[in-house]
Structure 1
Amino acid sequence: MTQRKTRVAILFGGRSAEHDVSRASAANIYRSLDPDRYDVTLVGITGDGRWVVADAANDKTSPALVIPSDGPALVLLPGGQGRALVVESGATDMRELTAFDVVFPVLHGPNGEDGTVQGALELADVAYVGARVMGSAASMDKDVAKRLLRDAGLPIVPYIAMTAAAPLSYDDAVRATGAGELFVKPANLGSSVGISRARNAAEFAASCELALRFDGKILIERCIAPVREIECAVLEDAGGEVSASELGEIVPAGQHGFYSYDAKYTDAGGASLHVPAQLDPALAARIRKLAVEVFGVLCCEGLARVDFFVSGGEVYVNEVNTLPGFTNISMYPRMWEATGLPQPELMNRLIAHALARHARLGKLSFQR
């Protein structure tokens, strides 16, 4: 008897400045899913937040998946265990799709990586890849994440948070961080969107204005120099065992100064990526251990990429991505490849974790 394929919905796009990165990540994941094992439906979230079926607009050769603005609208049914209704453009009648077994959110930044979509998937009672609401929300907000890490005794870079309603001066920031050279960044974005360096009051004002374009809360951090940017991929298997990958190092090209959005995605020579990173074995083991600790403190599940700064003998936790990039240059899948786990098998393990977790949660009682 032929075993039924697992029905997977890849959810991508979203209302975020990282919308285009999500489309590229989703294309790479789509190519990596075994067609003999999975029956895949592509669900794109438009820039204005509509969920549409995107199968007809894409194939596995696409470098970035397309979201058709006039695609059939899709809605997951609350409590429906993966049931979804579709409305064709211009139609009034709905049709029901075969229920999804698991949703793979490939969403970066707000309205996707921050617990909002995870909450919708919880209410739909469907298995999904990655952290649940708490881990997603806590990790997405860099201020909240740093507070939790600091309270757990883990090393972070000195920083202060600021909002437009309670602005800080350059002198305030210098006193708070103990440094005159600062990085200013949105609290709830990744992919280096909205990040800039400030070395004086004029640059600080411009940096705050830029970051506040993308988020109502921003972080002002001490610039650590000289510094090495080290990353670690963390994976939780279906049984709950958490493991850390070989480490990777990012070396930005001199003209960029740091790993900016342009260095990541628009300049082919913007950075060199080294996997595995060339580190003292004892230091590498320390960083991998830290990555697993961070994963636990922030209530991460399934997967996360933990980013570190290394300066001299000091290691600082920079940030955590609960839905890290999966583009063809992204570090998370590359680090697992270097550890001996090819991307198709990585996909299998992520989906297996999602299904096993959903089965465990389904056994919990909601009755007194």
Structure 2
Amino acid sequence: MDDHKQNVVLLFGGRSGEHEVSLNSAQSIYKAIDRNRYSVETIGINKQGQWFWGVLPEEIIKNGFPEINEGIQVTLVIDPTNPHFMTIDGRPLPNQGKFDLIFPVLHGPYGEDGTLQGLLEMANVPYVGSGVLGSSLGMDKDRMKAVFLEKNLPLARYVTLLRSEFLDGPELCLNKIEEKIGYPCFVKPANLGSSVGISKAHHREELMDALKTAAIFDRKIVVEETIIGQEIEVSVLGNDAPIASLPGEVLPAHEFYTYEAKYSNIGSSLLIPANLEDLVIKSLQSMAIEAFRAVEANGLGRVDFFVTPQNEIFLNEINTLPGFTEISMYPKLWEATGIPYSELIDRLIALGLERFQDRQNCKISRT
């Protein structure tokens, strides 16, 4: 390792349904990160949850992960006094597996939901992004909305159901949704992102199918009313003093911004900056920062809104580890606001180190 460079571990892949999104995000970061400032090591996590040292996202996209007996499988040593990676078979790693910071690019469960963050906290290592609380609140759409309501942020009407409720009494659930939400409505797994498992229901039969689909992915299902208006997204960057980007508008080719539209760049398009009045832009930026702080996010977050033709704003959700591909809204908004992609990576690394140092200043016992 070059003593003048920070050693960054790029962590990607994972067990979630957003595995492929993670590979694409990591590939973009790996290509753009400043090699004059950072030495970059890579660790890819396959869909079984096994960690492999030195695999490159571009190669995995093309050829898949190595077989278990062919790759260099590693694990994180949970020693707060000497955190490092070690190989399962005892082979040596560069710099004894030590590093300065982990840059997680893991979207969805087991990466964005606080579980990975808890592991990294136990090991006492610096990392990019939100901590356990911010990540878990940002992932769970039901609990996220509860926190937003506490802060008096404007939300569309919604209903939350447990999968067990739906399986035990589907007709009661359908009746409840029709009474409180009506049609059309959106049905979502509470703990997934990138539009995975999301459906739009226009009538009872579609609603039943949508609930069945969402129940495949999560034990908790959120049903939201449809807001007619512009789909607006704002990027947020920072820790205790976050800043907000210019807003962008999603112009979906279909009825909503599907998984395929987000990552294939087919049909749907992004309008940056969004065509909005100045007062609306300022309100969106202010509300995005409020939402970021409400869930106690850190580092980065993308906050999604609806703006009606009457300029009424509805907060939809926050993503604490948004897509970071070349066509993703988060970096494109910052580029339009004046922070290029490579500089954005620099800032996120600095914010991760800042947050780590802030935690080191806290005592955890009297002795």
Query: Per the alignment, in what secondary structure is the counterpart of residue 305 of structure 2?
Result: strand
CA distance in 1, matches of 2:322, 2:227: 23
| 2:303 is the alignment partner of 1:303 | no
1:66 CA displacement: 5.2
Gap runs ≥5 in structure 2: 167-171
State the match for 2:169 in structure 1.
none
CA distance in 1, matches of 2:62, 2:139: 24
**Alignment CA distance shift 1:65-1:152 (3 Å):** farther
CA distance in 1, matches of 2:140, 2:57: 33
Check conservation: 2:26, 2:57, Cα contact below 8 A: no
The 5 Å alignment of 1:271-290 reads 271-290=268-287
| 2:185 is the alignment partner of 1:182 | yes
CA distance in 2, matches of 1:260, 1:339: 26
Check conservation: 2:306, 2:315, Cα contact below 8 A: yes
The 5 Å alignment of 1:135-154 reads 135-154=134-153
**Alignment CA distance shift 1:64-1:359 (3 Å):** farther
State the match for 1:233 in structure 2.
235
1:170 CA displacement: 2.2
CA deviations 1:336-356 (Å, max 9, x no partner) are 000110011111110011112
Query: Per the alignment, in what secondary structure is the counterpart of residue 202 of structure 1?
Result: helix
2:206 counterpart letter in structure 1: E
Query: Per the alignment, in what secondary structure is the counterpart of residue 165 of structure 1?
Result: helix
State the match for 2:351 in structure 1.
353
CA distance in 2, matches of 1:148, 1:257: 28
1:211 to 214, 222, 229: 214
2:365 counterpart letter in structure 1: Q
Check conservation: 2:17, 2:196, Cα contact below 8 A: yes
For the aligned residue pairs, the C-alpha RMSD in angstroms reads: 1.8
Query: Per the alignment, in what secondary structure is the counterpart of residue 213 of structure 1?
Result: helix
Check conservation: 2:24, 2:57, Cα contact below 8 A: no
1:54 CA displacement: 3.2
1:140 counterpart letter in structure 2: M
1:151 CA displacement: 1.4
CA distance in 2, matches of 1:325, 1:13: 13
| 2:202 is the alignment partner of 1:199 | yes
State the match for 1:262 in structure 2.
260
1:11 CA displacement: 0.7
Gap runs ≥5 in structure 1: none
Query: Per the alignment, in what secondary structure is the counterpart of residue 301 of structure 2?
Result: strand
State the match for 2:37 in structure 1.
37
| 2:167 is the alignment partner of 1:169 | no
Moved over 3 A (4+): 61-67
Aligned pair count reads: 354
> Percent of aligned pairs with the same residue?
42
CA distance in 2, matches of 1:64, 1:9: 21
1:180 CA displacement: 2.3
State the match for 1:84 in structure 2.
85
CA distance in 2, matches of 1:110, 1:211: 15
CA distance in 2, matches of 1:309, 1:80: 46
CA deviations 1:311-339 (Å, max 9, x no partner) are 12211111110000001110000000001
CA distance in 2, matches of 1:20, 1:353: 26
Check conservation: 1:115, 1:136, Cα contact below 8 A: yes
Check conservation: 1:54, 1:68, Cα contact below 8 A: no
**Alignment CA distance shift 1:64-1:219 (3 Å):** farther
1:58 CA displacement: 5.4
Check conservation: 1:156, 1:316, Cα contact below 8 A: yes
**Alignment CA distance shift 1:156-1:269 (3 Å):** same
1:141 CA displacement: 0.1
CA deviations 1:174-197 (Å, max 9, x no partner) are 2222x2211101111111111111
CA distance in 1, matches of 2:216, 2:281: 37
| 2:52 is the alignment partner of 1:52 | yes
CA deviations 1:244-279 (Å, max 9, x no partner) are 0011100111xx21111122234x432110111110
CA distance in 2, matches of 1:290, 1:258: 23
Query: Per the alignment, in what secondary structure is the counterpart of residue 346 of structure 1?
Result: helix
2:119 counterpart letter in structure 1: A
**Alignment CA distance shift 1:218-1:64 (3 Å):** farther
Check conservation: 2:301, 2:319, Cα contact below 8 A: yes
State the match for 2:112 in structure 1.
113
State the match for 2:325 in structure 1.
327
CA distance in 1, matches of 2:293, 2:136: 14
2:262 counterpart letter in structure 1: K
